[in-house]
Chains A and B, each alone.
Chain A
Amino acid sequence: NAGVTQTPKFQVLKTGQSMTLQCAQDMNHNSMYWYRQDPGMGLRLIYYSASEGTTDKGEVPNGYNVSRLNKREFSLRLESAAPSQTSVYFCASRLDRDQPQHFGDGTRLSIL
């Protein structure tokens, strides 16, 4: 009953380092999403993938790249981390348009 699994749960990086956050879902969902959560700002969409093989920018895509590796996996990459990217990152997936999103437990990322 795994649902949406994110790895790692915590990470500390130095400015300029690169990092890939992993996300996998075992619910055969079509759409997957990456959000960041910052105090007082709710969740902001970074990128999403409506289906395998497609990706689209969300509200705050700058400084990030994504890969929809297959139907199960959707990774988020920071090529050159900046302190402004310190946040909690959530991956989510959804079966279809009218279905709710299911969230992972998050990755807490600190960039020094």
Chain B
Amino acid sequence: GNSVTQMEGPVTLSEEAFLTINCTYTATGYPSLFWYVQYPGEGLQLLLKATKADDKGSNKGFEATYRKETTSFHLEKGSVQVSDSAVYFCALFSGGYNKLIFGAGTRLAVHP
């Protein structure tokens, strides 16, 4: 079945460090891929998405490229800020199932 695997957290970085959060997936067909972010005490917000192979999603300095050959959608940011501290979820949508499949989430903590 479809599944998403994320690197375990927490990830702890200093401000202005480079961020990578790994995400790989298993799916039949050509799923759409998403990154969601959850700030403390809030619901999930869409951060970026990619709907086909080699697409790059980007938002707020974050980027992720849909790599079909490695079934990956790693999240990157060149210079993190304290305000980026949150939990990040990778997810895929497979049309045949009409629902999102989420990874377990990766907590990011950025300190000054």
Contacts and interface: CB of A to CB of B under 8 A. Distances in A.
Say what secondary structure dominates the interface of chain B.
strand
B102 to A, nearest CB: 4
A42 B98 contact: no
Contact of A104 (B43, B49, B102): B43
A100 B34 contact: yes
B104 A100 contact: no
Interface in B34-90: 34, 36, 41-46, 49, 51, 89
A40 B9 CA distance: 10
Interface in A1-45: 4, 31, 33, 40-45
Interface of B: 32, 34, 36, 41-46, 49, 51, 89, 93, 95, 98-100, 102-105
A44 B36 CA distance: 15
A85 to B, nearest CB: 19
B98 A48 contact: yes
Given A33-B100, A98-B32, A100-B46, 10 more contacts: A41-B104, A43-B102, A50-B98, A97-B95, A97-B98, A101-B100, A102-B46, A105-B41, A106-B42, A106-B43
B99 A105 contact: no
